[in-house]
Amino acid sequence: MNMRVIASALPVALFCVVAGMAPAQDFPNRPLRLVVPYPPGGATDIIARTLSQKLFEVFGQQVIVDNRPGGGQILGTDIVAKAPPNGYTLLLASVTHGINPGLVAKLPYDSVRDFTPVSMVAVSPNVLVINARLPVKSVKELIALAKSHPGQLNYASSGNGSGGHLAMELFRSMTGTVMTHVPYKGAGPALTDLIAGQVQLMFTSPLAALPHVRTGKLRVLGVGSLKRTDAAPELVTIAEAGVPGFDAPLWYAILGPAGVADDIVTKLNGGFKSILAMHDVRERFSSNGVDATYSTASELGAHIGREIEKWRKVILAAGIRPD
């Protein structure tokens, strides 16, 4: 090739390299938007607002928390799927992101292909709670009671296809028990009837359950994750209590739309890593029944793939359909 042509091409090539690096070098240089597909209040909103405050400290840019509830978290998730892939619009996804592909026939997005994983941020184990008057003190005793009275124990959930519903269906399938599902419109009404004895048990979040456990109205039999929770380390896992391998935690993660540049993902991931190591963040999460949990982007992507496959099998086996 003519040396004059090579020489003239070098500035262009250098410009392209620099231009490609520029977005991450000055990212972020304006406010970010964190879409939360839940209404204000509750653990999800606490996580979002804690992260937004700390991201401001790390990056020096405001983070706007945008609550977009509706459609089983589909509305807010779709907003992010269709946002420009520049790193400025992020999603606080939850376990529902892994459930919906097996539950909803036609999602307006692909839960894997239309998103860029950034980082896991928190895990909150479902806790298995029973009405305190139920004559069992352990997971093994509950299984024995359910097997001796098939279909007579009623379990509550915060809705058909919810995390608590699927956790109990996984529990039933792994223990060979038959129980009757009673769906409610939210965890509040479900817990009210559980305390009153209208239903006998349910899976729910520590934040919702533990205040009633402390008053003696409910009893915890175990936490639904492979490791004990920092929020209540004295509670055994269901796997420890007699159902090896049982794992059905609530989880929360940050996703962007598909196509976010790798260097921007790296910068965002590093920001979340530093935030999740902060003592005050871990303390605030723990006081609300949540464990701060970091992951790499690739680890999160693999986790979501496993979750989709796991819950698809549970939904198919139980014949669950959305309301």
Distances, alpha carbon 105 to alpha carbons 37, 190, 318, 321, in Å: 19, 27, 16, 9
Antiparallel, parallel or unpaired: β 218-223 and 291-292: unpaired
- Domains of the chain plus CATH, in order, are 30-124+249-318 (3.40.190.150), 127-223 (3.40.190.10)
Alpha helix ranges (H) inside the chain: 3-25, 42-59, 74-81, 96-103, 139-148, 163-175, 187-196, 206-214, 262-276, 279-287, 297-318
Q: Select the more confidently predicted residue: 187 or 164.
A: 164
Express as a percent the part of the chain with pLDDT over 70. 92
pLDDT tens figures, 102-130: 999 899 999 999 999 999 999 998 899 99
Q: How far is CA 123 from the centre of its chain?
A: 7
Q: How far is CA 283 from the centre of its chain?
A: 19
Among 274, 268, 276, smallest CA distance to 118 is for 268
Identify the weakest region by mean pLDDT among 1-10, 74-83, 152-161, 264-273.
Answer: 1-10
pLDDT tens figures, 49-103: 999 999 999 999 999 999 999 888 999 999 999 999 999 999 999 999 999 999 9
